[in-house]
Amino acid sequence: PLAGRVAIVTGSTSGIGLGIARALASAGSAIVLNGFGDAGAIAQLQDEFRRRHAVAVHHHSADMSDPRQVTAMIEETHARLGSADILVSNAGIQHVAAIEDFPPGKWDAILAINLSAAFHAMRAAIPLMRARGWGRIVNVASAHGLVASPFKSAYVAAKHGLVGLTKAAALELAEAGITCNAICPGYVWTPLVEKQIDDQARAHGIAREQVIRDVLLVNQPTKRFATVEEMGALTVFLCSEAAASITGTALPVDGGWTAH
């Protein structure tokens, strides 16, 4: 259903972004991967995409904390692949600490990568989408874009901001054939979550197993981690023609968390 489209997925060398990139590629879209990682492993990943899905695949190493690199990624995608029809802003980082202990540099980095990068990418991609009269923007927010948890001030602020940016963009683009939506995952099993288990254990002074049961999944009524495949399938749907009237939404994929 996405044959002929070009999708840029930020932060797609790992976790949810990689799951979304795989799903978009299997729907026929050309892919621009982005994110950090070992050069050999990234080259292998590109080979795997080409073999499995027979789509064009590039990797752009733009650091999402640098607006100039974000803009360059969009412009170079357009120059190489002819368009930038689907933009998935997914790159994100987390830091867990009480506000009074929160390093200001971490606050700035989280706001830059989790929120401002989506603005800079949209700013560069929207004129290209308008020119073709079609576009899909998917911002990977979080349940923390809708509700808060303690010790995640910067992340919660950035993700609430990303939901707000999504709504404003949807209204601006409503008549242009371009939709803009946020997806709001609860806990998905990825390296980012794996790393948080130890941070949370320190912040709460409890063991890893207890963090998983009583902290991470305490608000997730299904008591299971969501999967990156689920995030990929939802993104493919949002990019399909069937989702043309879905815009400006913040869709929870959180096992019932925000139903509380």
- Could you list the residues that contact ligand NAD (CB under 6 A)? 11-17, 34-37, 63-65, 90-93, 113-114, 140, 142, 185, 187-188, 190-193
Q: What is the rounded distance in angstroms from the CA atom of residue 235 to the CA atom of residue 244?
A: 13
Q: What is the rounded distance in angstroms from the CA atom of residue 131 to the CA atom of residue 205?
A: 54
Q: Classify residue 103 as left (phi > 0), alpha (psi -120 to 50) or beta.
A: beta
Q: Please list, in sequence order, all residues whose beta carbon lies within 8 angstroms of the beta carbon of residue 144, skipping any fewer than 6 positions away.
A: 152, 155, 156, 159, 160
Respond yes or no: is residue 187 known to be catalytic: no
- Out of 49, 107, 151, 155, the active site residue is 155
Cα–Cα nearest to 187, from 207, 167, 214, 216: 216
What radius of gyration do the chain's Cα atoms show? Answer: 18
Buried b / exposed e along 129-146 (16+ C-beta atoms within 10 A): beeeebbbbbbbbbbbbb
What's the closest the beta carbon of residue 170 comes to ligand NAD, in angstroms? 19
What's the closest the beta carbon of residue 256 comes to ligand NAD, in angstroms? 15
Q: What phi, psi does 181 have (nearest 5°)?
A: -135, 155
Between residues 53 and 120, which has the closer beta carbon with respect to ligand NAD? 120
What's the closest the beta carbon of residue 63 comes to ligand NAD, in angstroms? 5
Between residues 50 and 63, which has the closer beta carbon with respect to ligand NAD? 63
Please answer whether residues 159 and 114 qualify as being in contact, where contact means their C-beta atoms are separated by less than 8 angstroms: yes
Between residues 194 and 241, which has the closer beta carbon with respect to ligand NAD? 194
What's the closest the beta carbon of residue 131 comes to ligand NAD, in angstroms? 26
Between residues 132 and 204, which has the closer beta carbon with respect to ligand NAD? 204
What's the closest the beta carbon of residue 89 comes to ligand NAD, in angstroms? 8
Cα–Cα nearest to 235, from 14, 3, 22: 22
Active site positions, annotated: 155
